[in-house]
Amino acid sequence: MPSARTLEQARRVAQFRTRVLRDFGGLTAAEVSRLNGSDASNKSQLAYRWRKDGRIFAVPHRGRTWYPAFQFGPDGQPLAGVAEVLRHLGDRSEWDIAAWFVVSNPILERQRPVDLMLDAPELVGLAARHEARRRAAAGPHCRGALPPGAPPGPG
């Protein structure tokens, strides 16, 4: 039987994940396709290709794959800054990446990267690059570290 601490940690992680998708929205692969007017018979193809190309990421939640909506512009296209963040932080788990976007960041003067994606993507990229360097300098024990304010838990 899991300890009370383990159960509490799992509860906090589940609440955080639900809150991220509730607050920022999550799209299915079919919704990504529809937003972009794709007429492909395989409605997952567009999201899969963008994910494979490192332009977007997805998170698993309650048995489904969700694409956090904050990584898409008003036209439904992936925001360019997402690809840069993924280049620097792509070795992290999908949920660690999502947490990095939605938690305040000291490099960004306590602003959340998600809030700067449209107006200052270069600053978001700079913060991701700084985070990658910080983790590399800290060594392999830091590989799964979450940003401050994110609940600890499995990726």
Q: How far is CA 130 from CA 6, 7, 88, 89, in A?
A: 31, 33, 9, 10
Structural domain boundaries, residue 98:
4-142
Count of structural domains, the chain: 1
Supply the pLDDT for residue 39. 76
Asked whether residue 69 is assigned to any structural domain, the reply reads yes
pLDDT in tens, 95-110: 999 999 999 999 999 9
Angle at which helices 121-138 and 80-89 cross, to 10°: 0
- Residue type, position 62, single letter: R
Asked whether residue 151 is assigned to any structural domain, the reply reads no
Mean pLDDT of 18-47: 91
More confident residue, 89 or 38: 89
Asked whether residue 155 is assigned to any structural domain, the reply reads no
Mean pLDDT of 2-19: 92
Supply the pLDDT for residue 59. 98
Tokens of 75: 């036209």
Asked whether residue 53 is assigned to any structural domain, the reply reads yes
pLDDT in tens, 36-54: 887 777 888 999 999 999 9
Compute the mean pLDDT over every residue in the chain, rounded to the nearest whole number. Answer: 89
Q: How far is CA 70 from CA 2, 10, 151, in A?
A: 35, 25, 20
State pTM to two decimals: 0.85
Instruction: Inform me whether the pLDDT recorded for 133 exceeds 60.
Output: yes
pLDDT in tens, 49-88: 999 999 999 999 999 999 999 999 999 999 989 999 999 9
Asked whether residue 149 is assigned to any structural domain, the reply reads no
Instruction: Inform me whether the pLDDT recorded for 153 exceeds 90.
Output: no
Angle at which helices 94-102 and 4-24 cross, to 10°: 60
Supply the pLDDT for residue 145. 47
Asked whether residue 148 is assigned to any structural domain, the reply reads no
Asked whether residue 93 is assigned to any structural domain, the reply reads yes
Asked whether residue 138 is assigned to any structural domain, the reply reads yes
Contact 54, 83 (CB under 8 A): yes
Sheet holding 59-61, edge to edge: 26-27, 64-68, 59-61
